[in-house]
Amino acid sequence: MGLRAYTVTKYEKDFGDCLGFNYDIDGFCDFVEKLKIEFYIDETNPLVELNANELLSLNPKELELNDEEQRLLSSLQNDAKSADYAQDGYFRIEWL
């Protein structure tokens, strides 16, 4: 028994909110580090994956965030709540 190849007949991505951080993956990672949640960065592709459980468990009132950072965290949490795959894994942020 081994792996078998299958054709992909439908591939679809549904994009959420635009967070900004134009060409600034490092700036986004600095923000995530401030939130103290686990994340993975793929330097060959412009993407970051956040630990969805840690992201969703954050309480913005307990963090020292400015208004813009509060908005970003709220946007991330809302999109992670609505992303089916994020509930038990990682929530992906891509630069397009």
pLDDT in tens, 40-59: 998 788 888 899 999 999 99
In a domain, 18, yes or no: no
CB 79 within 8 A of CB 16: yes
* Residue 51 main-chain phi, psi, to 5 deg: -65, 110
Q: Which of 5-9, 36-40, 59-63 has the highest mean pLDDT?
A: 36-40
pLDDT at residue 35 is higher than 90: yes
- Domain span at residue 35 reads 25-94
Residue 84 pLDDT: 73
In a domain, 20, yes or no: no
Residue 24 pLDDT: 84
In a domain, 68, yes or no: yes
Place of tokens 């992906």: 92
Q: Is the pTM of this model over 0.75?
A: yes
In a domain, 58, yes or no: yes
In a domain, 70, yes or no: yes
pLDDT at residue 16 is higher than 90: no
pLDDT at residue 5 is higher than 60: no
Residue 60 pLDDT: 86
Number of compact structural domains in the chain: 1
Q: DSSP readout, 11-30? A: -----------TT-HHHHHH
In a domain, 17, yes or no: no
